[in-house]
Amino acid sequence: MQHSHNGNVVNGSMVWSPVKSLWWSAMVGVALVGGWFTFSWAALVLFLATTGTVLLFGHSLGSHRKLIHDSFACPKWLEYLLVYTGVQVGLSGPLGLLAQHDLRDHAQRQPDCHDYLRHGRSFWKDGWWQLHCELRLDHPPRLAVPAHIAQDRFYRFLERTWMLQQLPPALLLYALGGWPFVIWGVCARIGAGVTGHWLIGYFAHNHGAMAHTVEGAAVQGHNVALASLLTMGESWHNNHHAYPGSARLGLYPGEWDPGWWVLVLLQRAGLAWNFRLPADCPPRAELRVHAALPIALPQAHKSWRATVGAIATASRQLLARRGQLVLEGPFVLLSEQAAHCLAGAGVQAQRTPLRSRLSFDHGGQTVRGLPALLIAVGTRNAFTAAAALVLLPLATLCELARSQVDA
Task: Point out which residues bind Zn ion (CB under 5 A).
Answer: 221
| Beta partners for residue 361, in sequence order | 366
CB of 140 to Zn ion, least distance (A): 18
- Least distance from Zn ion to the Cβ atom of residue 220, Å: 8
Please report which helix (H) or strand (E) contains residue 203, including its range. helix 188-203
CB 234 within 8 A of CB 259: yes
From the list 407, 313, 330, the residue with the least C-alpha distance to 369 is: 330
Instruction: Work out the angle at residue 95's Cα, subtended by the Cα atoms of residues 171 and 85, and round it to the nearest 5 degrees.
Output: 35
Q: Least distance in Å: CB of 244 to Zn ion?
A: 6
In the complex with Zn ion, the residue whose CB is nearer, 185 or 221, is 221
Closer to Zn ion by Cβ: residue 102 or 361: 102
CB of 151 to Zn ion, least distance (A): 22
Helix residue ranges, H only, 136-166: 147-150, 153-161
Angstrom distance (rounded) from CA 118 to CA 104: 7
For Zn ion, the closer of residues 203 and 331 by Cβ is 203
Smaller CB separation from Zn ion, 67 or 347: 67
Shortest separation between residue 241's beta carbon and Zn ion, angstroms: 6
407, exposed or middle or buried, with CB in 10 Å at 0-12, 13-18, 19+? exposed
Closest CA to 184 of 369, 320, 192: 192
Distance CA 28, CA 48 (A): 16
Smallest distance, Zn ion to C-beta of residue 67, A: 10
What are phi and psi for residue 144, nearest 5 degrees?
-85, 130
Residue 221 or 250 having the CB closest to Zn ion: 221
Residue 295: CB minimum distance to Zn ion, A: 19
Cβ atoms of residues 168 and 36 within 8 Å: no
Q: Please tell me the distance from the alpha carbon of residue 78 to that of residue 271, in angstroms, as a whole number.
A: 8
Give the number of C-alpha atoms closer than 13 A to the C-alpha of residue 190, restricted to the C-beta side: 28
Phi and psi at residue 303, to the nearest 5°? -75, 160
Cβ 219 to Zn ion, closest distance in Å? 7
Q: Which of 210, 271, 215, 262 is nearest to 240 (CA)?
A: 210
Minimum Å gap between C-beta 248 and Zn ion is: 13
Which is closer to Zn ion, CB of 114 or CB of 368? 114
Write down the least CB distance from residue 44 to Zn ion, Å.
31
Residue nearest Zn ion, Cβ-based: 221
Backbone angles phi, psi at 314, to 5 degrees: -65, -40
Smaller CB distance to Zn ion: residue 237 or 357? 237
When the beta carbons of 35 and 94 are compared against Zn ion, the nearer one is 94
Closer residue to Zn ion, CB minimum distance, 7 or 221: 221
Task: Tell how many helices (H) and how many strands (E) occur in the chain.
Answer: 15, 10
Which residue's CB is nearer to Zn ion, number 210 or number 347?
210
- What is the DSSP track for 68-122? IT--SB--HHHHHHHHHHHHTTSS--HHHHHHHHHHHHHHHHSS---GGGGT-S-
